[in-house]
Structure 1
């Protein structure tokens, strides 16, 4: 039970005593938090009943594991927050053309429909005329599961004063001013993530919207934003791929800061590695996704010291589509984990929500349960989400002096690893402040 101790004017917000928890390397101990950091770890630490010390919060850990708070190293927070106002039309949500049409036509006529998660396996390739046949009486916009393509019907184009076939490839920034505001459920995003032990995010949008930092400050978690206080994100497309020299020039212009290069094909990875060789690596450089990593590039990645932030759950979530869409020569190289870790390449994970599950524990289970030779041990799978925000492949530990971003479990670590489930999470603390409890 979480119980408040006697307040004192000398106690800083977030002063917490967590009793009887399992901390790796220390056993069953008490942990004191002060000024947002772990101040002391030991047995039978002084508490609120002692005359010389008061705390704001006294927590009985009941022998549960106290872990570093989970950090989602690659997520799209505004898109995730917009899901509450969106219609899900992915293969897991609607199974055929009839289900897709029914989903688009639901709701009052005339109102905009924002549909997300679409894959062509549901009802084929889309353009404005295909959408007109399915939902002609209201503005409709459908986002592909990749997040890279929007398709609008004629009603939506007329409402916005736009023309063309309704297909917009990576034009989110241009389209923002043409659509009605979407209700953002940031409170729900923060609450659900906290319940899973998530105390931090790295927002991975390539072009942060104006005021994004202020908007995301509403979340109780610590948030880093690519291009602001996290590595600059560089998007690559095979159709407009720069030469290695051109990309190296972009990397050099970004130095001394690190970069996060979006690599979802073999050729994108090769161009990136050549450019990193030419420009020279920087501490904190990242490969985002690493969807296809040929075995011969693994020593190259290790030499450069670049971190791969991947999505090991995608082969499980998208297995049927990958079997049809991915070149046979690339299927053995998808979303590597174990081979990278064993070679000494730093590896971490992000959910890529809303384009994948928002649950990091589901990602861990997927990473540990792979049957393609890339499965990680369960302890290593947990570390995919315990890395430092600026160095995702470097796992954090609970020790004196570190920021008190913490995840308290109902059970000891050994039992938690057996389950790898968010159901084992009891409470989360961000900078020493409890953001959820159970």
Structure 2
């Protein structure tokens, strides 16, 4: 395969731009000018004329929850784009209940109380009205909360007397003390209590989700689900074996499963770039009002995982969580560790916290797409004095911190161009500007979604750039991104997506 007449942005500092790229098998074999490519045309099985459009390395989503994203294709859609009130949610769930047998679970996803007419979360009793004969789970847009109806609460065993697991919250009616259906940070508790889909049930959703990602130019992903286990790893193995999932997958390990992975030896030191084990995921939250786990436990856990040879990816949203994670990573570095630990999200970083993150040497994996999707909410709910500290990618970049971008889908749309647009403009989909001083240039935003993500996943010697010898993962966009206005970034479509030298998406075939 040969691409010619392209604006190639290689992400290779030695040769940053080119016009033509040759692929043999699954590898890039040549990068150069159109004039020098003329002798390669006759030997190419396919020549693609880019017509001056931009060719870049494949987008690499460094933080996604892929199976949840795939499951959302069949779930009741309660995103702000589909519902505007609790009544709308009830009507959508009721419609699904009419075609669902009694006792079967109904899954609904994506609601945002901020965008609902009522400005609040639904309750178990409202969901009961929509589907009294079915257990219902309605997942919040953030992925860190959900609402269960009464039937579902019974099935999972939550009653008036159920204690809250550490770091979790069961919201209750103020008068009776009965659970109102709202659960915060309860995924570990619910794991295994709600029937998981079979491989056969997953396969079609996964294939659809994989194709959707390919249409967005995504060639690799890092699954950051905190409950990832050996059994879920085996699910990914099966999906990859069936060719349902075309993207390269790095599988983060849930913190509770590291011992199991060590004992089994599964995925350790894997050279397979199609499916490999990545970092150990550690959740640090403040949802219940205080840091969980506490600072001492965070330091001990990170040190223990580091000693076992695990790269650690620390979920840290609030400034206290970011600070604690940075401290823990800095301690491993002080003891001589060379492991490439990560901080995920880093949503709030006042100046002192940013300095801690930079000093820690952590890779920051963040989601500028959150500014696009939720900028209006951030400005409404964040004190004006704290707004400059939201998603500080500009400050991190200037300080030399390595950035990687992801979507956290299904929390938001996985389209990389939406995140790239907000990274350079700091604008939301509503036009609100959030911390403009934290903007970065287009090249740096593209790099964070390609080479930066490969670096975060310790794969930069295999992918993330258009360079001879690297894997042939690349994306031809529908225009030259270096010559357009910022606003056009959200309109960009993908013409071709190549994964390992094979065409995973071709706009002409659609």
Q: Same fold (TM over 0.5)?
A: yes
Q: Which residue in the other structure is 1:172 paired with?
A: 187
Go from structure 1 to structure 2 and tell me whether the alpha carbon gap of 1:334 and 1:301 turns closer, same or farther (over 3 Å shift).
same
- Whether 2:83 is the aligned partner of 1:30: answer no
Q: Which moved more, 1:365-374 or 1:408-417?
A: 408-417
Give the Cα–Cα distance (whole angstroms) in 2 for the partners of residues 260 and 75 of structure 1.
13
User: What is the Cα deviation at residue 297 of structure 1?
Assistant: 2.4
* Candidates 245, 248, 263, aligned match of 2:299: 248
Deviation at 1:338, TM superposition (A): 1.2
- 2-structure distance, mates of 1:28, 1:251: 42
Label 1:27 to 1:376 Cα distance change in 2 as closer, same or farther (>3 A): closer
**2:271 aligned residue:** none
SS of the residue corresponding to residue 73 of structure 2 reads helix
Structure 2: distance between partners of 1:101 and 1:29: 54
CA distance in structure 2 between the aligned counterparts of 1:362 and 1:78, rounded to whole angstroms: 22
Equivalent of 1:222 in 244, 248, 251: 248
Question: 1:158–1:248: structure 2 CA closer, same or farther, 3 Å change rule?
Answer: closer
Asked if structure 1 preserves the Cα contact closer than 8 Å seen for 2:349 and 2:392, the reply is: yes
The question of 1:95 aligning with 2:121 is answered no
Q: Secondary structure at the match of 1:435?
A: strand
Mapping of 1:196-345 within 5 angstroms? 196-209=216-229, 210=231, 211-217=234-240, 218-227=244-253, 229-238=277-286, 239=290, 241-255=292-306, 256-280=309-333, 282-326=338-382, 329-345=385-401
Distance, in Å, in 2 between the alignment partners of 1:28 and 1:147 is 41
The partner residue of 2:480 within 412, 418, 422 is 412
| Shift of residue 127, structure 1, vs aligned partner | 4.1
Give SS of 1:143's match. Answer: strand
Q: How far 1:39 sits from its partner (Å)? A: 1.0
Aligned residue in 2 for 1:12: none
Following TM superposition, by how much is the alpha carbon of 1:226 offset from its aligned partner in structure 2, in angstroms?
A: 1.1
Alpha-carbon distance, 1:390 to partner: 4.3
Over 3 Å counting, the alpha-carbon distance change for 1:327 and 1:26 in structure 2 is closer
CA distance in 1, matches of 2:442, 2:381: 30
Check conservation: 1:71, 1:386, Cα contact below 8 A. yes
TM-score (norm 2): 0.75
Note if contact 1:284-1:390 (Cα within 8 Å) is conserved in structure 2.
no
- Whether contact under 8 Å (1:72, 1:200) holds in the other structure is yes
Of residues 148, 154, 170, the one that matches 2:150 is 154
Which stretch of structure 1 is more off in the superposition, 374-383 or 140-149?
374-383
For 2:17 and 2:123, how far apart are their aligned partners in 1?
Answer: 59
Helix, strand or coil at the partner of 2:451: coil
Distance 1:27 1:293 in 2: 34
Cα RMSD over matched residues? 2.7
Question: In the aligned structure 1, how far is the partner of 2:142 from the partner of 2:124?
Answer: 19
Deviations 1:316-357 (A, max 9, x none): 322343345445553321111112111222222111111011
154-163 or 78-87, which deviates more: 154-163
Deviations 1:362-404 (A, max 9, x none): 1111112213222222222222211254414989431211111
Identify the residue that residue 138 of structure 1 maps to in structure 2. Answer: 134
**Distance in structure 2 (CA, Å) of the matches to 1:65 and 1:315:** 25
- 1:8 aligned partner: none
Length, aligned pairs only: 419
Unaligned runs of 5+ in 2: 10-14, 161-178, 254-266, 268-276, 427-432
Q: Which of 470, 475, 478 in structure 2 is aligned with 1:402? A: 470
Query: What is aligned with 1:369?
Result: 425
- SS of 1:434's partner is strand
Summarize the Cα distance change of 1:246–1:137 in structure 2 as closer, same or farther, 3 Å threshold.
closer
After superposition, the C-alpha distances for 1:194-246 in whole angstroms (9 at most, x for unaligned) are 11211111111012141243145231111111126221110012245234332
Establish whether residue 187 from structure 1 lines up as the match of residue 207 from structure 2: yes
Deviates more, 1:306-315 or 1:154-163: 154-163
In 1, Cα distance between the equivalents of 2:384 and 2:20? 53
Instruction: Please list every run of at least 4 consecutive aligned residues from structure 1 whose deviation after the TM superposition is greater than 6 angstroms.
Output: none
CA distance in 2, matches of 1:384, 1:61: 23
